[in-house]
Structure 1
């Protein structure tokens, strides 16, 4: 498989686009989970719509592009899709009750949970800087939970659980990385996700209004485009460069929530979100330092051998 040519400016543009699109999916999920477009839909039905229409978009892309598909690793795909479906369903459930920006900020704990899970599952070592980043990010999440009798947000626990579940999905994504081309991964992910979601939604299905059908289609289209932008952006620049840009999702989420629902982030939301972002940036900084140190060591070693 030919490596994608590095292009950091294009990567940044793709990740910003992915962030705007991803925040748009949570906006539509909130509209569907409340009474804005008709009787509220169950989160299982919203995630079903996400996989249904995303699958149709990706199948159309495959039919046009006709990429060369290879033999997939079915076990890794099933694990990745199962956790991804559960995570997105919990995320869609949470945004019906708490501000989109809060749910989005909590979702940035995904890499923290993935880091912790990688210790037993991938046998990765975790140093003090990584633990510091995890502690800081989790402190921010605790603030967003508002753990007092007067202000506690039970629905925020849905977003927190979603972050943990998607952290597990990231473990499977790491194992899939480099094995198959991006469009094949997206095709199989959405095909399996649609199958799982179709079984789950059969217990709670209700016929959507025309506006809800449009929003469900919008979620699928936006999610498919966001995935494509994110995968292609990641392929064109180092993860340490791309990861901080993805935090733009929080900005878009806050803007959308204010523009459509008139929700203004309060002081607690802003403080908690800022702390989570700080933890995430510490993790990104440490990963960049570690990667550069490893590269320098290999370069020095190669130079010594060449002498």
Structure 2
């Protein structure tokens, strides 16, 4: 095997992606369980403060480096977009069923695909346009406007998908200049700083237990991205991408068994349609040997 040839171990990649879905569902369960006991911005701030502690050694080295002004601007833009997305996501996860949030979250790669075409000149061929339309139909099936009440949490999660997508596009541009580890570490710093004023403004007493649970959120989120990286290193994304749909299944089971949220077949169907369209675009781009549409979990932390 040549130095540039990547290993192809489908079973290993699938197992790592299963671990990825388990980590992200653990994040969802904890945040959903904490609910609105702590304001969304405060919860997000505490979670990223834990992340800042994890990245402190790396940040001490990174901040001593000299970056071009454009890179600093991208660090700031990516962090601000991600901060808004995370705040909206925490609000949504605290106020609507866990499966609804998970299903709508699959729209993130669609936002990136459209944004990449409009902002980065990556093109939007008719197959991708068709896949985007199918994904939007999936979102309509989930929300069913006129047939069910659209709660503020649903609107917040749609906004989160939009801002997560924008943050991913900024991060993608940043990887042209700096390593991925630097992008993640600086994102953690900027998000923490950006959330601080809102968190302080809304601050409510927080118990040691809640603080530790939010620390667990940071651990599971970091673990999820580590497992995802190992999955992509072991097998092509076209093999591991479909496994991501199981996250919706785990979320629906968790909502039912832990939170007494009966599974909504329309949410499952809509989520399946969205992930199918994302998987098709991923497969098609692999056939064309180009990478545009990101894997579903890669757009969030």
Q: Sort the TM-score into its range (normalised by shorter chain).
A: 0.7 to 0.9
Q: 1:19 to 1:43 in 2, by over 3 A?
A: same
1:168 matched to 2:166:
yes
Stretches of structure 2 that go unaligned for 5 or more consecutive residues are 291-301
2:48 corresponds to: 51
CA RMSD for the aligned pairs?
A: 2.6
Q: 1:205 to 1:154 in 2, by over 3 A?
A: closer
Once residues 117 and 182 of structure 1 are traced to their aligned partners in structure 2, the CA distance between those partners, rounded to angstroms, is: 20
Once residues 21 and 234 of structure 1 are traced to their aligned partners in structure 2, the CA distance between those partners, rounded to angstroms, is: 16
Q: Does the CA contact (< 8 Å) of 2:253 and 2:263 recur in 1?
A: no
Q: Does the CA contact (< 8 Å) of 1:98 and 1:155 recur in 2?
A: yes
Q: 1:180 to 1:239 in 2, by over 3 A?
A: farther
Q: 1:191 to 1:235 in 2, by over 3 A?
A: farther
1:15 corresponds to: 17
Q: Does the CA contact (< 8 Å) of 2:171 and 2:183 recur in 1?
A: no
1:297 corresponds to: none
Once residues 56 and 8 of structure 1 are traced to their aligned partners in structure 2, the CA distance between those partners, rounded to angstroms, is: 34
Once residues 104 and 284 of structure 1 are traced to their aligned partners in structure 2, the CA distance between those partners, rounded to angstroms, is: 19
Once residues 4 and 180 of structure 1 are traced to their aligned partners in structure 2, the CA distance between those partners, rounded to angstroms, is: 23
Once residues 239 and 180 of structure 1 are traced to their aligned partners in structure 2, the CA distance between those partners, rounded to angstroms, is: 23
Normalised by the length of structure 2, the TM-score is: 0.83
- Pick the structure with greater CA Rg: 1
Once residues 199 and 172 of structure 1 are traced to their aligned partners in structure 2, the CA distance between those partners, rounded to angstroms, is: 23
Structure 1 stretches (4+) deviating beyond 6 angstroms?
none
Once residues 80 and 234 of structure 1 are traced to their aligned partners in structure 2, the CA distance between those partners, rounded to angstroms, is: 23
- The equivalent position to 2:130 in structure 1, one of 129, 132, 140, is 132
Once residues 148 and 86 of structure 2 are traced to their aligned partners in structure 1, the CA distance between those partners, rounded to angstroms, is: 28
| Paired residues, number | 282
Write out per-residue CA displacement over residues 59-102 of structure 1, whole angstroms, 9 at most, x where no aligned residue. Answer: 36x49xx99x9655322222222111211211111122221111
Once residues 108 and 28 of structure 1 are traced to their aligned partners in structure 2, the CA distance between those partners, rounded to angstroms, is: 20
